[in-house]
Amino acid sequence: MNAVTIKDVAQAAGVSSATASRVLSGHSATSAESREKVEAAAKNLGFVPNAQARSLRSTKTDTIALLISDVRNPYFSDLAHAVEQQALEAGMMTFIGNANEDSEQQDKFLAAMLSRRVDGLIVVPQGLDEDSEHPSEMMQRIVSSGTPLVFVDRTLPQLNIPSISASSATALNEAIGELKALGHQNIAFLGGPAHASTARERHSAFDAALEANGLTTEKSLHFAGDFRAASGADGAHWVLRHQLEPTAVIIADAPMAIGALTVWREAGIRVGADLSVIAFDEVDAMLMHHPPIATISHDLHSMGRAAVTALQSVMADKEPEPQEFISQFTPRASLAQASVTPGA
């Protein structure tokens, strides 16, 4: 139906298509007269430029792609929102893709974006399933295609790609310090999947914080989840059955925390009395919980904006300055004196 092209506009305005193009893209010099005529004609005919044709010739699409690992995780949807807003301000559309924590879907999306010749890519990289030496073949192709690329949240250390990430060291130090002051000795950690660099970072920062606070690190107190609610629930059962009877738990993301807290509620565990809980990611549900849950949070809005800015640097052939955000610890009533151990 929309058969109105720039030629139609040009004809209606009585100029050539070159002039019409110049007016509509506002680049070269044009006379006030033809500018007026072309604009009137375009409006009149309801001209909608064909983005395909435009970017075929001009080799830019004004589109970037954002690949996240799970749209339904509020952490990533917040990030996506921040990226999208910032990109919009810079006049670019954002393709949001969903890897579903699955590197096959990731590759599919990346292939589609490559084929669409997006101007740049912001990726929360999926790790490598087993073969941790080589990032996925598709990721290699992206890199060798020369498409501007930055990583956000997670990174792949094998590749030398600008990354925007967060450091939880300071926050975990504070958190562990607080727990120790409350008398906790056995602190469990419900972590994320090892293929995510954030999960590894949080885990090692946890160990470092224990040591820095003079507590012993205990390998058996680490549970490997997958950042989803179901694994948080599994972790919650695991905590209850653990022979060291941990009195405090730190959980690596919000969905896992919600899963775990649901199990503890059902089991009659009193969080903030029997068990102290700290969760990564500040989401509204943590404040709804009774008692409210202490959190370690990232400034996702800033991270999203920083990722776009870094990408713009790469697109302009500049070296983006590396940036690391510091997470913040917020103590709340979910922290209590270590006293009774949770019954099974």
Partner DNA sequence: TGCTCACGTGTAATCGATTCCATGGAATCG
Partner DNA sequence: CGATTCCATGGAATCGATTACACGTGAGCA
Q: Give me the residues that bind its own copies (CB under 8 A), please.
A: 1-2, 46, 48-53, 55-56, 61, 71-72, 74, 77-78, 80-81, 84, 88, 93, 95-96, 98, 105, 108, 111-112, 114-117, 141, 144-147, 229, 255, 258-259, 261-262, 265, 284-285, 287-290, 292
Residue 67 pairs in a beta bridge with 97, 123
Residue 74 binds which of DNA, its own copies, none (CB < 5-8 A, kind-dependent): its own copies
Minimum gap (Å) between residue 34 Cβ and DNA? 3
| Spatial separation of the C-alpha atoms in residues 170 and 192, rounded to whole Å | 19
Ranges of H-type helices in the chain: 6-13, 17-25, 32-45, 51-58, 74-89, 103-115, 137-145, 169-181, 197-212, 229-241, 254-267, 284-288, 300-315
- The values of phi and psi at residue 324, to 5°, are -130, 130
Residue 50 pairs in a beta bridge with none
Range in contact with DNA (rule: CB under 7 A) among 18-26, 148-156, 305-313, 314-322: 18-26
- The values of phi and psi at residue 27, to 5°, are -85, -80
Check: CB of residue 307 under 8 Å from CB of residue 83: yes
Measured from the CB atom, the residue of 221 and 269 that comes closer to its own copies is 269
Measured from the CB atom, the residue of 14 and 183 that comes closer to DNA is 14
Residue 341 touches DNA, criterion: CB under 7 A: no
Measured from the CB atom, the residue of 6 and 65 that comes closer to DNA is 6
| Spatial separation of the C-alpha atoms in residues 272 and 78, rounded to whole Å | 28
Selected from 40, 43, 58, 89, the binder of DNA by CB under 7 A is 58
3-state secondary structure 125-145: CCCCCCCCCCCCHHHHHHHHH
Measured from the CB atom, the residue of 202 and 289 that comes closer to its own copies is 289
Residue 316 touches DNA, criterion: CB under 7 A: no
| Spatial separation of the C-alpha atoms in residues 23 and 92, rounded to whole Å | 21
Minimum gap (Å) between residue 112 Cβ and its own copies? 5
Residue 87 binds which of DNA, its own copies, none (CB < 5-8 A, kind-dependent): none
Residue 160 CB-density burial (10 A; 0-12 exposed, 13-18 middle, 19+ buried): exposed
Minimum gap (Å) between residue 21 Cβ and DNA? 3
Selected from 40, 43, 56, 266, the binder of DNA by CB under 7 A is 56
Selected from 54, 81, 237, 242, the binder of DNA by CB under 7 A is 54
Check: CB of residue 278 under 8 Å from CB of residue 249: yes
| Spatial separation of the C-alpha atoms in residues 43 and 37, rounded to whole Å | 10
Judging by DSSP bridges, how do beta strands 187-191 and 222-224 pair with one another? Answer: parallel
Residue 33 touches DNA, criterion: CB under 7 A: yes
Range in contact with DNA (rule: CB under 7 A) among 29-37, 62-70, 218-226, 333-341: 29-37
Residue 63 touches DNA, criterion: CB under 7 A: no
Selected from 40, 43, 44, 50, the binder of DNA by CB under 7 A is 50
Residue 331 binds which of DNA, its own copies, none (CB < 5-8 A, kind-dependent): none
Minimum gap (Å) between residue 220 Cβ and its own copies? 27
Measured from the CB atom, the residue of 217 and 262 that comes closer to its own copies is 262
Residue 186 touches DNA, criterion: CB under 7 A: no
Minimum gap (Å) between residue 105 Cβ and DNA? 23
Residue 111 touches DNA, criterion: CB under 7 A: no
| Spatial separation of the C-alpha atoms in residues 227 and 256, rounded to whole Å | 6
| Spatial separation of the C-alpha atoms in residues 275 and 256, rounded to whole Å | 16
3-state secondary structure 51-83: HHHHHHHHCCCCEEEEEECCCCCHHHHHHHHHH
Q: Binding residues for DNA, per CB under 7 A?
A: 3, 5-7, 14-19, 21-22, 24-25, 27-31, 33-34, 47-50, 53-54, 56-58
